[in-house]
Chain A
Amino acid sequence: MGILDDLRQSVIEGDRDRTQEFMKNAIAANVPAEEILKEGLISAMAEVGRMFECGESFVPEMLIAARAMKSGLTLLRPHLIAAHVQAVGKVVIGTVQGDVHDIGKNLVGMMLEGAGFEVIDLGADVSAEMYIRAVIEHHPDLVACSALLTTTMLRMKDVILALDEAGLRGRVKVMIGGAPITEDYAREIGADLYAPDAASAASRVKELILGIDRP
């Protein structure tokens, strides 16, 4: 196997130590930073997402894979900057106001990072005003809203209305997700995208923002 295959496999297996070792080897071997990113990290996380979507892996496996990916990305980042490699897009993500459940949101953020996006995580209990401020400051391609409760999912509509009122709705796409959310609800409140889980969130965002078909 080549060095990038080793790197990719170590991320899939969530083996942080080996990921760092292979990343250092790839950098030392002068493999272009963008190639390491795409073939070693993004490709690995796409496979992790595929395995999650088809029930071959679950949240713990996704978490350790994302941790390995991040540890490799930290080593790679200076080389990406030096090579002027940009993120494929930018996402502002948060759990909506009144809701402090954040593991689903965190998983979506990790999978989007793993797909090459820059992710600005606003945390939990995020008001519509906070989303607006973040959109103005960061100019994201997508705003992602999470909610676990039927009592808080209604706040997603407030975010979309606030984007409308601020004249920002045309600039960003909106994705929503969380246990009680459905495709119908997303359509009803005017969201652009719904995803039932973290893995499909990443693939659907790629499809929407980058026009890349899901595997």
Chain B
Amino acid sequence: MTKREVIYAVLEGKKPPYVPWSCGFTKEAREKLQARYGVTDLEDALQNHLLKLGSDIGFFTELGEDRVRDVFGVVWDRSIDKDIGNVEGCVLSEPTLHSYSFPDPLDPRIFADIPGRIAGFWDRFRVFQIGFSLYERAWTLRGMQNLMMDFYDHPAFVHELLNTIADYNIAQVNEALKYDIDAVYFGDDWGQQRGLQMGPKLWYEFIYPVLKRMYAAVHAGDKYVFAHSCGDVDELFDDLIGIGLNCFNPFQPEVMDVAALAQQYCGRLAFHGGLSTQRTLPYGTVENVRAETLRLLETGQEGGYIFAPAHDVEGDVQLENMLAFIDLIQAQPGYRTS
């Protein structure tokens, strides 16, 4: 079976020959692996099963002094967080879109490398990525505290903002569907360490109907829907499945019972993630990492699971801990013979 076929099996709730994986690393963690493997391109060393396509979090203009501007006009300070950065200022200082224009969703740069990437990694499962896909895009434009209060102060504006973001995403999805992709991944963060940031009442009022529209656009093209939300959001799984979610990431073990959920949802919702990035990877021993990895591989052996650390591995993780899980996933008997 190709890697692509293995992921198809996982998403369809069938038993795969082994547990597939797709692991991400931040810049600092990646540099440790690049030095270890002696290569700059880690694709061959990692053998990830998901091929990421599209622009994910978009394109940036360098502004100097560790600052970049994204296509939405948001300035990011990358002096500390070097991968994504932190929002500086507030693009939508007032609760209105009247003087704001969204960027071009069909910017050719978003789609330019799709044919080449698919040709180069033809055997992998192709996922078109849209990062900051809704709530996060809204708060990066409006400011998180402003947006939280706008839910009550300016609900019509929040509906308009979220729907305009969705229109932008759906235009991208429709263009991406012209390529031979397998899924669309919507990145967003609704959760916190305990429960939803905005609570279920506001999530169902503002977020849910817009997700429903975006997921429907993907299913209209007969593709799978992947979604990411950090935090304790498992209360939403049944309703997310109801509107077409097929695979959930990051499956954080600090905030949800990964083994129980994998069993509960097997055949209905696949999970991607699961390895603790808040505790085991930065603070555990190699043996701790091996033990947790083996537990996860056992959890996923019947299907419905794609292994990964529950976040891009941060720079505070020792190389030995990264190699511990990489070696184990690649040593699965079914992988070598598949």
Contact = CB atoms under 8 A, between A and B. Distances in A.
A150 interface: yes
B198 A197 contact: no
Contacts of B199: 57-61
Given A100-B80, A180-B278, A58 B202 contact: yes
Given A100-B86, A179-B192, A60 B315 contact: no
Contact of A59 (B153, B197, B277, B282): B197
Nearest to A180: B278
B44 interface: no
Given A100-B81, A106-B145, A60 B198 contact: yes
Contact of B277 (A57, A58, A125, A150): A150
A14 B149 CA distance: 10
Contacts of A149: 314
Contact of A60 (B86, B195, B202): B202
A99 B80 contact: yes
A85 B283 CA distance: 47
B277 A196 contact: no
B157 interface: no
Nearest to A98: B80
A40 B148 CA distance: 24
Nearest to B147: A60
Main secondary structure of the interface of A (DSSP, over half): loop
A14 B314 contact: no
Contacts of B25: none
Interface residues of B, number: 29
Interface in B174-223: 192-199, 202
Nearest to B193: A179
Nearest to B139: A103
A100 to B, nearest CB: 5
Nearest to B281: A150
B77 A100 contact: yes
A151 B278 contact: no
Interface residues of A, number: 25
Given A14-B152, A60-B199, A196-B193, A151 B77 contact: no
Given A60-B151, A179-B192, A180-B278, A150 B198 contact: no
A106 B148 CA distance: 13
A64 interface: yes
Interface in B259-293: 277-279, 282-283
Contact of A63 (B77, B148, B277): B148
Interface in B292-319: 314-316
B144 interface: yes
Interface string B157-177: 000000000000000000000
Interface in A146-173: 149-151, 154
Contacts of A14: 152
Nearest to A179: B193
B148 A60 contact: yes
A154 B152 CA distance: 37
Interface in A22-58: 55, 57-58
Contacts of B153: 64
Most chain B beta carbons < 10 A, residue from A59, A106, A179, A197: A59
A67 interface: yes
Contacts of B145: 63, 103, 106
Contacts of B198: 58-60
Interface of B: 77, 80-81, 86, 144-145, 148-149, 151-153, 192-199, 202, 254, 277-279, 282-283, 314-316
5 contacts: A58-B197, A58-B198, A63-B149, A103-B145, A149-B314
